[in-house]
Amino acid sequence: MSHYQTLLRVSTNGKSLYNITPKIEAIVADSGVQTGLCTLFLRHTSASLLIQENADPDVLTDLANFMAKLVPESANYIHDAEGADDMPAHIRTAITHTSEHIPINRGHLVLGTWQGIYIWEHRQHSHYRELVVHISG
């Protein structure tokens, strides 16, 4: 079994969902692995990973609106070391994911027709997010 690992840095421009599917597909192609597993690990506590609808952007808007209602920024949080969006971002990450595993077949990610991979930035301001991409096969 072979292993391939790289660190992907993604620039975010504030709270939103960022489609990284093409970047991950390119890394899988570079790895040369034909059959295996792609493991993604986001090295942060205020952003998360999501596999979700990639055809209709209204889905992403509805998800963001739902999360804003579920975890409001206006609550009386104790932790606010980096601003009012700090603790809500940690809670949003805690109830989502910081890692995903996607099978590889014939050198491609085995995603469903309408699935895409997203970094979900939970902070208001721009950040550089680091994603470890580990491919085995």
Q: Is 49 in contact with 120 (CB distance < 8 Å)? A: yes
- Strand-strand pairing, 35-42 and 47-53: unpaired
Q: What is the predicted pLDDT for the residue at 38? A: 98
pLDDT at 74 over 90: no
Mean pLDDT of 61-81: 93
CATH 1.20.1050.10 corresponds to the domain 3-136: no
The secondary structure element, H or E, covering residue 26 is helix 21-31
Could you give the 3-state DSSP secondary structure of residue 39?
strand
What are the residue ranges spanned by the domains of the chain?
3-136
Task: State the Cα–Cα distance between residues 110 and 134, nearest whole angstrom.
Answer: 15
Which residue, among 102, 110, 108, 104, has the nearest Cα to 137 in the 3D structure? Answer: 104
The secondary structure element, H or E, covering residue 91 is helix 86-94
pLDDT at 52 over 90: yes
DSSP category for residue 72: -
pLDDT at 79 over 90: yes
Q: What is the predicted pLDDT for the residue at 81? A: 86
Q: Is 129 in contact with 6 (CB distance < 8 Å)? A: no
Where is pLDDT greater, at 130 or 83?
130
User: Which segment of 14-18, 52-56, 81-85, 120-124 scores lowest on mean pLDDT?
Assistant: 81-85
Mean pLDDT of 107-133: 97
Q: What is the predicted pLDDT for the residue at 80? A: 84
Q: Is 135 in contact with 28 (CB distance < 8 Å)? A: yes
Mean pLDDT of 33-62: 97
pLDDT at 83 over 90: no
